[in-house]
Amino acid sequence: MPTNVRSEIRDRVAIIRIERPHKRNAVDATTTAELDAALNAFEDDPRLRAAVLTGTDEVFCAGTDIVAGPGEPTERGGPYGIIRRAHRKPVIAAVEGLALGGGFEIAMACDLVVAAENASFGLPETLRGLVANSGALLRAMRCLPLNVARELLITGSRLDARRAHEIGFANRVAEPGRAVAVALELAESICASSPTAVQATLQALDEQWAAAEEAGWAATDRAQARIEAGPDVAEGLAAFAEKRPPEWTDR
């Protein structure tokens, strides 16, 4: 039976792949459920110490499947099965090609990032009358310099792999096609450490951000409510579907 998420085990590391290439790995309800299940299995297996999350060789993830929708948030992972997940073990994003919108937010929800030289990160939501509602409004300014985060969020411009590495978002840059291989090397270096110490460290870091996370999600909800109350979201999505420039209201 075809699936959208495939997992494999390499020694003490889980490799989790999002595979919907005909939709640029955009997330629908099935993908959310399967990604959640794969991450739950990784977290619950005491033999595994790190995970590598990736897409296909051409694209990491284009975000939400706008037509089908991403399905409901999961109990343990929240949106997409990962966005609000409390990580007990490190997850490394291995990014080839595009990581757009929710795809970029999935990468932000990981603990470390390996970007292939052909990787490109972007948050195009405002170009469509939307706001980034899966974590970027709170995590972008934590993962990136503030003005870079602000520019990406309000212009929809792209961040390439080299720049992502220079400003500290990407931990490693890999040759195209080698993001997973480099991420596995990074995962093996994690496995050399005490798993108890690694988990305690991640928990301590997360605890220090907990209050900011809650405030950030509340601010995201307010931003989402504001755009849902106006006409721009409908115009943005219609323009996107019709492949034309949007005609925004002046307010």
Q: What is the pLDDT of residue 70?
A: 97
Q: Please say if the pLDDT value at position 2 is more than 70.
A: no
CATH number at residue 206: 3.90.226.10
| Average pLDDT estimate for 175-179 | 98
pLDDT digits (tens, 9 = 90+) for 15-50: 999 999 999 999 999 999 999 999 999 999 999 999
**Residue among 238, 96, 56 nearest 176 (CA):** 96
Domain membership flag for residue 233: yes
Torsion of CA 98, 102, 108, 114, to 10 degrees: -20
| Average pLDDT estimate for 166-184 | 98
Q: Please say if the pLDDT value at position 9 is more than 90.
A: yes
33, 109, 144, 196 from 166: Cα distances, Å: 34, 20, 10, 31
Q: Return the percentage of the chain with pLDDT > 90, whole number.
A: 92
Domain membership flag for residue 65: yes
Domain membership flag for residue 185: no
Q: What is the pLDDT of residue 214?
A: 95
Measured over the CA atoms of residue 17, residue 133, residue 82 and residue 200, the dihedral's sign is positive
pLDDT digits (tens, 9 = 90+) for 181-200: 999 999 999 999 999 999 99
Tokens of 228: 């849902």
Domain membership flag for residue 188: no
Q: Please say if the pLDDT value at position 1 is more than 80.
A: no
Domain membership flag for residue 245: yes
Q: Which of 19, 105, 185, 207 is catalytic?
A: 105
**Residue among 180, 220, 236 nearest 66 (CA):** 236
Domain membership flag for residue 237: yes
The question of whether 213 is a catalytic residue gets the answer no
Q: Please say if the pLDDT value at position 97 is more than 70.
A: yes
| Average pLDDT estimate for 64-80 | 96
Tokens of 17: 């792949």
Q: What is the pLDDT of residue 249?
A: 83
**Residue 240 pLDDT class (50, 70, 90 cuts):** confident
Q: What is the pLDDT of residue 48?
A: 98
Domain membership flag for residue 189: no
Q: Please say if the pLDDT value at position 251 is more than 70.
A: no
Domain membership flag for residue 29: yes
| Average pLDDT estimate for 128-140 | 96
Q: Which of 125, 185, 214, 242 is catalytic?
A: 125
Q: What is the mean pLDDT of the chain?
A: 96
Diameter of the chain measured on Cα atoms = 57
Could you tell me the residue range of the domain that residue 57 belongs to? 1-176+194-251
Q: Which amino acid is at 111?
A: D
pLDDT digits (tens, 9 = 90+) for 82-92: 999 999 999 99
Q: Domains in the chain: how many in total? A: 1
Which of 3-7, 24-28, 33-37, 235-239 is least confident? 235-239
The question of whether 105 is a catalytic residue gets the answer yes
